[in-house]
A = this chain, B = another copy of it.
Amino acid sequence: MIYSGDIHTILMLDSDLLVRRIKEGTVIDHIDEGKGLQVLDALGINGKDGGLITIALNVPSGKYKKKDIIKVENKFLHDDDTSKLAVIAPKATVNIIKDYKLVEKRRVALPNEIDRIFRCSNPDCITNSPEHIESVMDVINKENLVLKCRYCGRILDVKHLKYN
């Protein structure tokens, strides 16, 4: 019977099954299409710890849309991870699995301030000097992901920023 569904149903079943079957870990769902590998990279998820990881890209989601999904065993997101995720994939949901159960489901929220993650694009900014001062950026427009460097005041578009 399970084979008779369309690809969407099957993938949801799949994702459901996999959610159920990791003992401890995190499922990041509703990642914007095309951002899955970037999230993987930004969060340092590479499978080197031996835990099971499943990444699905371009998964049908609703009638006309697609999404990416990442499921990772034995990984829980820290604040920095959540901030990165919010910036890269603002519609993502984070599902926490413990002892095979879904114990928490939450949306990511863009913080008011983003520390460390991005490098200011102003080469003369003190955060790019050899003194290794960590970047601090205020999120001045959450909808369009516009940041402002707290040190040099430069207005920054997240899409063009490099990671630290």
Contact = CB atoms under 8 A, between A and B. Distances in A.
A24 interface: no
Interface of A: 2-3, 7, 10, 14, 17-18, 20-21, 33-34, 36-37, 40, 46-48, 50-60, 66, 68, 73
B46 A50 contact: no
B36 A47 contact: yes
A28 B26 CA distance: 25
A53 B56 contact: yes
A53 B47 contact: no
Contacts of A33: 47, 50
A10 B21 contact: yes
A20 B2 contact: no
Most chain B CB within a 10 A radius of its CB, from A2, A17, A33, A73: A17
Given A10-B21, A21-B7, A47 B58 contact: yes
B3 A20 contact: yes
- 10 closest residue pairs by CB, A with B: A47-B57, A53-B57, A55-B55, A54-B56, A7-B21, A52-B58, A14-B14, A47-B58, A50-B58, A10-B17
A109 B40 CA distance: 30
